[in-house]
């Protein structure tokens, strides 16, 4: 199969769909790989490295989309990229369609088959292609939150760790999954006073045992979350409903009552955000202020550490790319129900239940979509 890798076009997005090591694996298996010139250059993967791995270099994205049977990306396609998709072509990338009707309609109109990293599952019921970026984003959330708490960045001038005689920052983490647990590890390691909220009692128990009481665990209700948010210096939004829009767990009214200089980092912004005051931002302009509260809502947080993120993502996605290229998407999905869960759009129809419900689209069951 001919696999195409275009350069990412989202603002300050330097990750790449396939790193040279992945390309070498694919070419070794007999596949052809076409990489847009400069696709990985910003993170230390020059065109020469791709050529050494067996890829051909294309001058621009148009050439990649025109030839490729399978397009492998990182972030959702922007409008100019959607315009280059065609019926029968397969797109494999993060999509986050539930809060994005415009992208969804564009993909439907293209006639292409779109598979989303974030809804592929595994036998444990987790999301293996979202996990590596969630790990990065969770750790980064504390890093950027600590920076936003600095006075020159609009924060209250609080050192996350505190010093002897001065308490560390209070950190509330809403969601105890991959993002939340990684955020808790970094925050606790920096000696902040951390509380994690979740509705899964087994998850709270696991976190309590992991941290041996150094992190407080609280069952998540609107009341418990509101009380903690009002007391916290830093709030991390780390909730996820696979494929669906994130629930709004902190109201604008609550934000208006928070202490000026507090910071909110909404890692759920890719799925619409879990704070009512959240709106997408970029690495070029990452923050804004509402009622004196600093908001950080960058939709591609792991892009800030693009080399680490690209390699970690490829470690997770490569086996699926190999399956799609080697078997074709229909057979690969017929043999792997977890990959089948990644199918979001096919031939003008939405094929994921959560996306269809969020956008009011008629659902074509994925099992029906893979039938020739």
The catalytic residue positions are 96, 270
DSSP 176-215: -SHHHHHHHHHHHHTT-EEEEEES-HHHHHHHHHHHTTSS
Q: How far apart are the first and last CA of the chain?
A: 19
What are the φ/ψ torsions at residue 296 (nearest 5 degrees)?
-115, 115
Cα-based torsion angle of the residue sequence 72, 140, 135, 185 in order, rounded to the nearest 10 degrees: 170
Across the chain, where does the E strand assignment appear? 2-5, 32-36, 56-58, 70-72, 90-93, 113-116, 170-174, 193-198, 216-219, 234-237, 263-266, 287-290, 293-296, 343-346, 349-350
Q: Are 170 and 160 in contact (CB under 8 A)?
A: no
Q: Which residues contact 275 (CB under 8 A, 6 or more apart)?
A: 235, 237, 248, 249, 250, 255, 264, 266, 295
Q: How far apart are CA 97 and CA 116, in angstroms?
A: 9
Q: Tell which residue, 18, 21, 22, has the closest CA to residue 6.
A: 18
Q: How far apart are CA 99 and CA 271, in angstroms?
A: 6
Q: How far apart are CA 304 and CA 261, in angstroms?
A: 24
Q: Tell which residue, 244, 250, 238, has the closest CA to residue 140.
A: 238
Q: How far apart are CA 148 and CA 313, in angstroms?
A: 27
């Amino acid at each position: 199969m001919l696999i195409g890798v275009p350069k990412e076009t989202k603002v300050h997005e330097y990750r790449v769909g396939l790193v040279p090591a992945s390309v070498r694996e694919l070419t070794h298996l007999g596949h052809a790989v076409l990489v847009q010139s400069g696709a990985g250059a910003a993170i230390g993967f020059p065109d020469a490295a791709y050529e050494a791995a067996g890829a051909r270099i294309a001058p621009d994205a148009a050439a990649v989309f025109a030839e490729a049977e399978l397009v492998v990306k990182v972030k959702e396609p922007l409008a100019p990229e959607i315009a280059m998709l065609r019926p029968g072509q397969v797109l494999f990338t993060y999509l986050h369609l539930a809060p994005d009707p415009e992208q969804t309609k564009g993909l439907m109109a293209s006639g292409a088959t779109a598979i989303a990293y974030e809804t592929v599952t595994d036998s444990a019921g987790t999301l293996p292609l979202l996990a590596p970026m969630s790990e990065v984003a969770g750790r980064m959330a504390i890093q950027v939150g600590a920076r936003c708490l600095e006075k020159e960045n609009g924060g209250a001038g609080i050192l996350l760790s505190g010093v002897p005689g001065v308490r560390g920052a209070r950190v509330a983490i809403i969601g105890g999954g991959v993002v939340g647990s990684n955020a808790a590890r970094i925050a606790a390691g920096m000696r902040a006073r951390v509380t994690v909220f979740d509705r899964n009692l087994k998850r709270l128990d696991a976190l309590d045992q992991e941290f041996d009481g150094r992190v407080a665990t609280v069952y998540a209700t609107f009341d418990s979350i509101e009380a903690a948010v009002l007391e916290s210096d830093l709030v991390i939004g780390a909730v996820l409903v696979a494929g669906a829009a994130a629930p709004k767990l902190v109201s604008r009214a609550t934000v208006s009552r928070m202490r000026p200089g507090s910071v909110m980092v909404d890692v759920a912004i890719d799925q619409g955000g879990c704070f009512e005051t959240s709106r997408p931002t970029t690495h070029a302009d990452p923050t804004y202020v509402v009622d004196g509260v600093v908001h950080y809502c960058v939709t591609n947080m792991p892009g800030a550490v693009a080399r680490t993120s690209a390699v970690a993502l490829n470690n997770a996605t490569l086996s699926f790319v190999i399956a799609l290229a080697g078997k074709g998407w229909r057979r690969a999905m017929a043999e792997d129900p977890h990959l089948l869960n990644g199918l979001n759009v096919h031939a003008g129809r939405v094929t994921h239940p959560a996306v269809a419900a969020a956008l009011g689209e008629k659902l074509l069951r994925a099992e029906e979509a893979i039938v020739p």
